[in-house]
């Protein structure tokens, strides 16, 4: 294994998980040299084209250009524009977790298509990730899933816990987990609550898990 | 624009990871500004990591080769979209990740919802709450000659766990780098890795029937 950054801090069971790294990396081999040579040719040509046709005038030109950076500068703070395939959707004053969902509803774009539109730019990454988590999982549509509100669900679980009804809270969590993996439930919760709240939910997840 | 063409010694970009992100950024800026050698430094640093990630993400080598080339081609085509404020490695693997998602969708291999749910132990798979022991060296050696079994074990993972495991244990990315590529929180990534590694150990540690 020749990873520049050695896998670490992963399993919680073993500090390294070197066994998994070794097994998964075996037999994959090095990158295909013929393709790499072709890629370098293309990259070198691109560099030459940059010099001849569009020389950047300053570092600022590079760091700030890109259509998403331009869009960001034009937008009001509370607005989000999702642009893809000629579709423009404006979202106003919505909770961060939900901003990308109406982008789907209105534009008909999939989360991945929206993500693709913002690919690599960091503009929508968090919002799209949140939407992915807040959107009922694929294939689980229907009334029960369609009206899920993660924030409300989380509040309800905490409220139930505060009322001392542990079993009811666990059942609410189990219902939630029917739509999302545990890891995603925790990730979603991390966006909506503080460390104490997250720790309480984590504890509940572990209790539910221990009964499986 | 600073040019890195004279930096034939790749140590500037290939040294340890401290400052690696900054050096990557300098290489990207130099390449976009017309320095071809700067791309070579980036390419040398990441080609094997990217290849391992793509190769382990698809079961067919020819498809992996095609996808690998396509990712780098997209990097070239979209180089001016890259922002210096972000990690290059995150940007690169975000492109790879999205390309693989498109590929799996086209192949109709998107993991089923049952796989997404089975992390909760609701399907007939070993419960994630039982902690699996690390694989023994002998078992690792056996598995090295059984690529199909490794692929099957990976296919049984929920997509988020599979992605985290591949990015960390195959592509060698740190949790922060995975976060920049996927938009996920560090703790969520850690959780996915914990579940994913445990599940793999359970699956791969079991003797073949």
Is A24 contained in some domain?
no
For residues B170-192, give the mean pLDDT. Answer: 91
Q: Using one digit for the tens of pLDDT, what is the confidence trace for B16-41?
A: 454 688 889 989 989 988 889 999 99
Instruction: Supply φ then ψ for residue B132, to 5 degrees.
Output: -85, 145
Is A6 contained in some domain?
no
Is A99 contained in some domain?
yes
Q: Across the interface, do B68 and A32 touch by the CB < 8 Å criterion? A: yes
**Which residue of chain B is at minimal alpha-carbon distance from A32?**
B65
Beta bridge partners of A84: A87
Q: Across the interface, do A23 and B143 touch by the CB < 8 Å criterion? A: yes
Determine contact, residues B126/B170, Cβ cutoff 8 Å.
no
Domain holding A56, by residue range, is 33-64
Is A11 contained in some domain?
no
Q: What whole-number distance in Å separates Cα of residue B85 and Cα of residue B103?
A: 29
- In chain A, the number of structural domains is 3
Determine contact, residues B89/B46, Cβ cutoff 8 Å.
yes
With residues binned 3-state (H G I as helix, E B as strand, rest as coil), the percentages for chain A, rounded to 5, are 60, 5, 35
pLDDT at B8: 33
Determine contact, residues B2/B84, Cβ cutoff 8 Å.
no
pLDDT at B89: 93
Longest Cα separation, chain B: 62
More confident residue, B103 or A92: B103
What is the pairing mode between strands A79-84 and A87-92?
antiparallel
Smallest CA–CA separation between B107 and chain A, in Å?
15
What residue ranges do the domains of chain B occupy?
1-88, 111-209
Is A25 contained in some domain?
no
- Residues A58, A78, single domain; the answer is no
User: Which residue among B68, B144, B190 sits closest to A27, beta carbon to beta carbon?
Assistant: B144
Q: Which residues of A touch B85 (CB under 8 A)?
A: 63, 122
Determine contact, residues A156/A198, Cβ cutoff 8 Å.
no
Chain B contacts in chain A segment 153-212 (CB below 8 A)? 174, 177-178, 180-184, 186-187, 190-191, 198, 206, 208-210, 212
User: Which residue among B36, B86, B129 sits closest to A43, beta carbon to beta carbon?
Assistant: B36
Q: Which residues of A touch B61 (CB under 8 A)?
A: none
Determine contact, residues B39/A40, Cβ cutoff 8 Å.
yes
SS3 at position A169: helix
Chain A contacts in chain B segment 46-85 (CB below 8 A)? 47-52, 55-56, 65, 68-69, 72-73, 76, 78-85
pLDDT beyond 50 at A66: no
Q: Which CATH class is domain B111-209?
A: mainly alpha
Is A12 contained in some domain?
no
- Residues A57, A71, single domain; the answer is no
pLDDT classification of B7: cutoffs 50, 70, 90: very low
Q: What whole-number distance in Å separates Cα of residue B123 and Cα of residue B167?
A: 26
pLDDT beyond 70 at A79: no
DSSP output for A62-108: HHH-SHHHHHHHHS-TTEEEEEETTEEEEEES--GGGTHHHHHHHH-
For residues A82-101, give the mean pLDDT. Answer: 36
Is A125 contained in some domain?
yes
Is A115 contained in some domain?
yes
């Amino acid at each position: 294994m020749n990873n520049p950054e050695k896998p670490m801090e992963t399993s919680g069971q073993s500090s390294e998980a070197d066994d998994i790294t070794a097994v998964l990396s075996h037999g994959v081999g090095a990158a295909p040299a013929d393709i790499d040579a072709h890629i370098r040719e293309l990259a070198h040509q691109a560099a030459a084209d940059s010099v001849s046709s569009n020389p950047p005038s300053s570092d600022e030109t590079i760091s700030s250009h890109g259509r998403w950076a331009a869009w960001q500068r034009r937008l009001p703070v509370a607005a989000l524009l999702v642009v893809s395939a000629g579709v423009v959707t404006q979202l106003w004053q919505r909770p961060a977790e939900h901003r990308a969902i109406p982008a789907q509803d209105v534009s008909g774009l999939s989360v991945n298509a929206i993500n693709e539109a913002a690919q690599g730019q960091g503009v929508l990454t968090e919002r799209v990730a949140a939407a992915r988590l807040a959107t009922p999982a694929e294939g689980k549509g229907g009334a029960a899933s369609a009206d899920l509100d993660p924030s409300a669900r989380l509040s309800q679980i905490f409220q139930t816990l505060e009322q001392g009804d542990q079993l009811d809270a666990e059942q609410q969590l189990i219902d939630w987990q029917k739509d999302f993996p545990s890891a995603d439930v925790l990730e979603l919760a991390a966006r909506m609550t503080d460390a104490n709240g997250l720790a309480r939910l984590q504890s509940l997840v572990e209790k539910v898990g221990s009964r499986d | 624009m600073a040019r890195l063409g004279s930096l034939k010694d790749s140590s500037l970009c290939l040294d340890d990871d401290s400052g690696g992100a900054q050096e990557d950024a300098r290489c990207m800026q130099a390449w976009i500004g017309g320095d071809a050698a700067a791309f070579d430094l980036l390419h040398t640093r990441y080609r094997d990591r990217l290849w391992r990630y793509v190769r382990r993400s698809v079961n067919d080598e020819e498809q992996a080769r095609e996808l690998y080339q396509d990712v780098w081609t997209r990097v070239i085509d979209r180089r001016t979209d890259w922002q210096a404020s972000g990690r290059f490695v995150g940007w690169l693997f975000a492109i790879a990740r999205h390309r693989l998602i498109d590929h799996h969708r086209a192949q109709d291999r998107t993991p089923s919802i049952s796989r997404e749910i089975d992390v909760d132990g609701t399907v007939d798979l070993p419960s994630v709450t039982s902690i699996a022991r690390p694989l023994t060296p002998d078992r690792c050696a056996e598995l090295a000659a059984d690529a199909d079994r490794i692929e099957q074990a990976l296919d049984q993972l929920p997509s988020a766990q599979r992605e985290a495991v591949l990015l960390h244990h195959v592509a060698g990315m740190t949790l922060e780098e995975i976060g920049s590529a996927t938009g996920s929180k560090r703790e969520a990534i850690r959780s996915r890795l914990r579940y994913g590694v445990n599940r793999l150990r359970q699956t791969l540690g079991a003797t073949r029937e």
